[in-house]
Structure 1
């Protein structure tokens, strides 16, 4: 990046959030970073630089989020890039998961993101500039994963609200990008970031197999490099005309291509029925 910028990053104590924070500070940018624990965040970042503002935030509390955003603006004067990275995975079939389990996942992954967006937009609109980057997932584009229905639902929601957000804020010079990673070698599949259902039903053998595969085979063997992934997101933040959608990883690219192919197949196979519902159709 040619100029230093001010970043606001959620979920910065591990994974992509921590890696982006490290790379940005190393490059001379200012970072206001949030986590559920300020102590853990500070220890993970390993710096006491004046360009680093660690913030302990409950993303489900709008007033707590607003306070953190205000502190970031008071400290650095403005905001350039807001990265909604915080989130966690919830495994379990839709029949298995309780209302509380499902709502908690939505509270963090969707409403936490919404809370941050609401809090930063007054500043970005005043500036007539800014870039909001929402971290989604390939599971927000294709949902064919047994046992990941609620998580996929949260990420599909992030995709939808982000597309609408982009249309709403374009008039203010604000950019929006949705990042959809595939499997990256972060802590996402560890117990700290992935929650299993409390009520497992024996009938759902494919879901149990998915749990086992993710914990015993995929975890620790993900093909994506988080250092490269974080660098790619940072690169997008320095692009004059950033994309609305950014896929990360060959696996994400392949799965998105399959989703588009499947959608096109169904569209063409049922085109006659689709078009027959118009009032003007004889």
Structure 2
């Protein structure tokens, strides 16, 4: 009987990460899960021979490497990595301080890089592995006023994953970017979102979107976290995983809308786009 894969999941104490590790444990997988506070994980999962809870500072490379080593010591291998840890930084670009922007990148982007660097030597040695990096529809479609820094972190996750996919392919390692839409989790609540300290009332579009999130979207998100967890398991077992996966009907439709807009702009501006090429001179 084939042994179930070992999964390593970051940011697993709430939201999609928690839904995923609960599904994995229920299905008999071996799971290492990280959180800033290990007691949060233990409270949610309890004691289980197939579960390893890890208190990790995702932005600290030493802390991340230690968690990978502990996972290998307990389970002997790692098969699937899910980089899910992250948070939303709200505030227009003018409002957001340098410190606030750097911290969001440290967690959302450099935390993901820390995990990739720590696990790739193991994946290269065994010539197999799967990395699933959680971006957001905001990492493909950036037109959300007041979300610019968060958008930028998630675009960065998408960009580095595209590079990873071709860098690691010859080593038997696959990489997938997942772009979730709105799921009924606590992401839009305090603890997963941080507001810029220096607020500027003039930014009406950003303030209006904040009100929409608070009054219309929270509690009415269309995505089911348990179904998302099942989709992740399917992705982890797929023989030919996609590079890009838009998760949720809202994400899928928003992505299609941007693609249609891009295609229209390409057609409209084709002559201007190509006007910058060198033209070979004809010799009489």
TM-score by length of 2: 0.97
Please list the CA deviations of residues 118-147 of structure 1 after superposition, one character each: whole Å capped at 9, or x if unmatched: 000000000100100001100000101111
Question: What is the alpha-carbon distance in structure 2 between the residues aligned to residue 2 and residue 137 of structure 1?
Answer: 33
Please list the CA deviations of residues 157-188 of structure 1 after superposition, one character each: whole Å capped at 9, or x if unmatched: 00000000000000000011111010000110
* Structure 1 unaligned regions, length at least 5: none
Q: Say which one has the larger Rg.
A: 2
Question: What is the alpha-carbon distance in structure 2 between the residues aligned to residue 280 and residue 231 of structure 1?
Answer: 54
* Map of 1:43 onto structure 2: 43
Is 1:6 aligned with 2:2? no
* Map of 2:195 onto structure 1: 196
Structure 1 stretch displaced more, 47-56 or 208-217: 208-217
CA offset at residue 2 of structure 1?
Answer: 6.5
Question: What is the alpha-carbon distance in structure 1 between the residues aligned to residue 212 and residue 119 of structure 2?
Answer: 39
Question: What is the alpha-carbon distance in structure 2 between the residues aligned to residue 181 and residue 155 of structure 1?
Answer: 11
Question: What is the alpha-carbon distance in structure 2 between the residues aligned to residue 191 and residue 84 of structure 1?
Answer: 21
Is 1:217 aligned with 2:200? no
- What SS does the corresponding residue of 1:166 show, helix, strand or coil? helix
CA offset at residue 216 of structure 1?
Answer: 2.1
What pairs with 1:23-172 in structure 2 (closer than 5 Å)? 23-45=23-45, 47-172=46-171
CA offset at residue 280 of structure 1?
Answer: 2.5
TM-score by length of 1: 0.98
- What SS does the corresponding residue of 1:167 show, helix, strand or coil? helix
Is 1:261 aligned with 2:260? yes
CA offset at residue 281 of structure 1?
Answer: 6.3
* Map of 1:177 onto structure 2: 176
Question: What is the alpha-carbon distance in structure 2 between the residues aligned to residue 239 and residue 281 of structure 1?
Answer: 49
Question: What is the alpha-carbon distance in structure 2 between the residues aligned to residue 215 and residue 170 of structure 1?
Answer: 42
Count of aligned positions: 281
Question: What is the alpha-carbon distance in structure 1 between the residues aligned to residue 76 and residue 280 of structure 2?
Answer: 58
* Structure 2 unaligned regions, length at least 5: none
CA offset at residue 265 of structure 1?
Answer: 1.2
- The alignment yields a C-alpha RMSD, in angstroms, of 1.2
